[in-house]
Amino acid sequence: MDLKSLVRDIPDFPKPGILFRDITTLLRDPEGLRYTIDFLTQKCNEAGITADYVIGIESRGFIFGSPLAYKLGVGFIPVRKKGKLPAAVHSIEYELEYGTDCLEVHQDALHQGSRVLIVDDLIATGGTASATAKLMQKIGCEIVGFGFIIELRDLQARTYLPDVPIISLIEY
C-alpha cells in the first residue's frame, strides 16, 4: 500500500514556509490505518525489537503506540506534556526552537531495566524523541528502538537519538 498517498500536505501550517504532513487522512482510511499498524508491527519484529513497553509520545504517539503495544503483546505507557498526569511523575525539560517544554511519565509506570520502544507519528528535528529517550534513561530503562510513521530525513534527527533500531514507514 502507498501510505504517502494517504498523507495530506498542508502548506504554510502552522506558519509560513512549513509544509505540514497531515495524518488525519491516513487515520480516516480503515485499510490504511490497519496496514500502518500491521506494517509497523512487522518492521519491529524484523528488526528484532523486543520490548516490555511501548512508550507513546503525546499525543499522536498514543494513536499508533496503543495498537502497536497490543499487537506486540506488551504494555503501553503514555509520555505526556507537563501537568497532564494525576500521580507523581518523572519529568524532563528540553529545548525547543523558541523556549523550553517538559515531558512527564508516572513514577510507577516503569521500573529500572524496563525495555522500551518509543513511538510517535513523526520525527522531524528529533527534539521530543530525544527528550523522551533521555527521560527513559533517567529512569534506568533500556531503549530498544524507535518507531515513527513519518520521518523528515533532511533534518537528520537520527543523529540525536541513541544507536538502536529506528523504524520509519514513510520518508520525505
For the sheet with 115-123, list strands across it: 89-96, 99-106, 75-81, 53-57, 115-123, 142-151, 166-171
Helix, strand counts (H, E) of the chain: 4, 9
Q: Are 43 and 169 in contact (CB under 8 A)?
A: yes
Note if 8 is an active site residue.
Answer: no
- Annotated active-site residue 97? The verdict is yes
> Residues 58, 60, 115, 158: which is the catalytic one?
60
Q: Which three cell numbers stand for residue 6?
A: 494517504
Set 8, 80, 93, 97: catalytic member: 97
Q: Which residues share a beta bridge with 94?
A: 101
Rounded to whole angstroms, the Cα distance separating 110 from 113 reads 9
Give catalytic residue positions. 60, 97
